[in-house]
Amino acid sequence: MCGIFAYKGQKTNAAQLVVNGLKKLEYRGYDSWGIAFKTGHKVSIYKEIGKIGEFDISTLKEKVDGPINGHMAMGHSRWATHGGVTQENAHPHYSQDKTIAVVHNGIIENFEELKTELKEKGYKFRSETDTEVISHLIQKYKSLGPVDAVKKALSRLRGRYAVLVLCAEDDRLIAARRGSPLIVGKGENEFFIASDIPAFLEYTRKVMYLDDNQMVVINNDAEFFDLETNKKIDKRIVKIDWSPESAEKGEFPHFMIKEITEQKETIARAINQDEKQFMKIANEIKNAYGTYLVGCGTAGKVCLTGSYLFAKIAKRHVNVTFGSEFPSLQDFITDRSLVIAVSQSGETADTLEAIEVAKGKKAKVLSIINVEGSSMDRISDYAINIKAGPEKAVASTKATTAQLAILTLLAYALDNRLEEGKILLVNTASQINDMLNPRYEDHILNLAKKIKDVESMYVIGKGVNYPIALEAAIKLQEVSYIHAEGFAGGELKHGPIALINDGVPCVVIVANDETKQETISNAIEVKSRGGYIIGIAPENNNIFDYWIKVPEVGEASPIVNIIPIQILAYQLAILRKNNPDMPRNLAKSVTVK
């Protein structure tokens, strides 16, 4: 949540670079935005409500009193947590004397008491945010010097944060993190700091990661410090294998449809893994005294699907919980437990907290992530990179199916049938390649036109496709804003069927497995109450009012069955004039609790 970008180097158009970087991070927050830039011994701030996408740097030249050229600037795109969406609440935030500017991701849990303390000392607040206490605290300790003042201010904070600081009287860029991601990009005689790699990917692929309770001070070089011990840290430079083009829309109108289409390749990439590593992890699962799949949102539904896959393919029971609920189960965790954490970004706050709980109990942790070097990657005992490439649409698509592919492969590895699993998933990727074509999308678009004005719709599935029904409902909610709910087919008669009346769309996910006949029976129950039945299945059935064909892929059915729902959600969003890449009230990486 929220995007941070900063530049320090030899170029004199730092403000322009920061604006461009924020545009690439807008998927992380788009309530408001702002930049701070340094010219001489002055820090200027400019901020606006709304999206930065169409902003032109010439507007800045017209509205700012004085020059805007300089070698150092920073900016922030906001997803509101404390305080409404106003220009005053947008970042950056000044200190009272306007010599210090701060941008911040995260939540300061003790900001009310700090604010009261500062007010009693005469500090005036211009916003409702928790962030403004940071800039005022730094001013309070200004006599210590910029770096030590920042350290002292940070020592007073409780909660998660990523903080960047510009000081009018100092030429260094200062940044620190605890719980919220910050990544340093190293170019030729220049440095970038961002909350996500795509912001600076066109300039450099060399990165250094800030870990929790670490600070970086950038001048002619980048110096890293441990905030607790004050000792300097040597950082390894990691080269990212993403191309700049992979983080752009290219010929596609939106990232969401681009990323849906990329599933032709991403599933094949996901399963191209080190077989020895997979078998080693499978052995850890076999020897664990309790295995827990943990994720949030869509990743949580992937985890639930994984529990069915492990049971069906490997005859192995695993526990499933959302990251936010995991601390309530910690009494069951021991040093023989294994936690499998799933996250696209590798920075999901609740999942990171679950890992911290697990590590505190000395349990082993496997993370399934899409960002090499992310927080989850670095703190886990094992990590599997799903290799989906940058995913910028808020609604996850290609990362979801890549995660499902990894869990399917792990289930086969656990049953000593890894090669069989790989053959299945290679075949699945090939069938998806045939499936994703303009004619298929047009067929789903015709359905979207029929149902675009409905208020509610429902999705049912059974067995391994029950969690896919839940995930399908999330996709529809996220971008179409239609009230959608997913149910286990057999649960309809226990209450939800009361919601069905004439014309209500109900998506029925039917796999050619042991649940097929029961799922069709559930669809008949809905049809008899007037429901409009949309069948997602390898074969047509008389009960379907509209049939969307999917390939027959056996145990990989969850992967192919979610894809038409992704396309439907996208088409509905367009027809309802929503931006599918930036749905209201949502941001891509949930890095706050």
CA 370 to chain centre: 10
SS (H, E, C) 259-280: HHHCHHHHHHHHCCCCHHHHHH
DSSP-based three-state secondary structure for 461: strand
DSSP-based three-state secondary structure for 370: coil
Q: Helix 298-314 to helix 398-414 angle, to the nearest 10 degrees?
A: 20
Minimal CA–CA distance to 324: which of 347, 294, 359, 344? 294
Residues 297 and 304: their CA atoms lie apart, in Å, by 11
Catalytic annotation on 167? no
447 burial level (CB within 10 Å; 0-12, 13-18, 19+):
buried
Contact by Cβ (8 Å): 386, 258: no
440 burial level (CB within 10 Å; 0-12, 13-18, 19+):
middle
Contact by Cβ (8 Å): 334, 323: no
Strand partners, 338: 291, 364
Catalytic annotation on 588? yes
Strand partners, 3: 77
List the catalytic residue out of 8, 38, 258, 588.
588
Q: Helix 557-575 to helix 398-414 angle, to the nearest 10 degrees?
A: 170
Q: Which residues contact 216 (CB under 8 A, 6 or more apart)?
A: 174, 175, 176, 182, 184, 193, 208, 210, 222, 223, 224, 225
Rounded to 5 degrees, what angle do the CA atoms 264, 301, 420 make? 50
Place of tokens 């699945």: 428
List the catalytic residue out of 2, 167, 296, 303.
2
Contact by Cβ (8 Å): 49, 83: no
Q: Which residues contact 92 (CB under 8 A, 6 or more apart)?
A: 34, 35, 36, 45, 47, 74, 75, 76, 101, 102, 103, 166
| One-letter amino acid for residue 422 of the chain | K
The two tokens of residue 536 are: 């997602």
Residues 489 and 480: their CA atoms lie apart, in Å, by 23
Residues 338 and 361: their CA atoms lie apart, in Å, by 11
Minimal CA–CA distance to 377: which of 183, 162, 588? 183
> Sign of the C-alpha dihedral, residues 455, 573, 450, 259?
negative
Residues 267 and 271: their CA atoms lie apart, in Å, by 7
| One-letter amino acid for residue 466 of the chain | Y
DSSP-based three-state secondary structure for 506: strand
Residues 146 and 168: their CA atoms lie apart, in Å, by 10
Q: Any idea which residues carry the catalytic annotation?
A: 2, 588
